[in-house]
Amino acid sequence: MNLPNTMRAKILLLTAAICVLLFFALPSFRNWLVGIFTLFRDPLAMREYIAAYGPLAPIISALLMIFQSVAAPLPAFLITFTNGLLFGVWWGTALSWSSAMLGAALCFFIARYFGRPVVVKLISETALASSDQFFERYGKHAVLIARLVPIVSFDVISYGSGLTSMGFLGFWLATGIGQLPATILYSYLGDEATGTIKILFWVFGIVVAISIVTVLVKRRSRTSLVV
């Protein structure tokens, strides 16, 4: 069920106007927003920023995860590393996994209710075209495969899913299952986040994804032969 075009236009105009007003009228808001974006370039700064909130640190971490989901393509793995370091492997995993699920759901519904023009403005036509091709190639398995491959944008696929006929429950389950291995591993390696480890993880993810794709292709081939 989509919102009427007039209602969508009013919501978008109001949101844009508020954001522009805050950005230019309030230097403190502008500096805060620029500082948030800067965090996603520096793991140490990210850790210090979240830890500074003390008991509220988990909430701040969750809000940052949701923010990066909407503001694709900011890297989510920095938050996951930080959560593993600050809260331990399992609590860090639970926090990263649940907040990423909320962010994915938000992207899905933004795309579902506001449509392609808004998604294009958020992630670019090129990124969305890549998502379209991914769904055309892998069909109903696209979300699960994308979650297992670190080089495929988590957020772009979330937006792209909302533009397909896929139901939210299927998207939700595939996202939850597919992102869990990466979340656990990133949390575990949180305090050893060197470039080498990142590369090893990417290789791991690609190998897993290739294995899944191979199995799916074999199943389709067998089904075709049977038919």
Spell out, as residue ranges, where the chain has pLDDT lower than 50: 1-2, 194-197, 221-227
- pTM equals 0.73
Give the pLDDT of residue 176. Answer: 94
Question: What one-character-per-residue DSSP string does the chain give?
Answer: -PPPHHHHHHHHHHHHHHHHHHHHH-HHHHHHHHHHHHHTT-HHHHHHHHHTTGGGHHHHHHHHHHHHHHTTTS-THHHHHHHHHHH-HHHHHHHHHHHHHHHHHHHHHHHHHH-HHHHHHHH-HHHHHHHHHHHHHHGGGHHHHHHH-TTS-HHHHHHHHHTSS--HHHHHHHHHHHHHHHHHHHHHTGGG--HHHHHHHHHHHHHHHHHHHHHHHHHHHHHHHH-
Give the pLDDT of residue 24. Answer: 57
Give the pLDDT of residue 32. Answer: 58
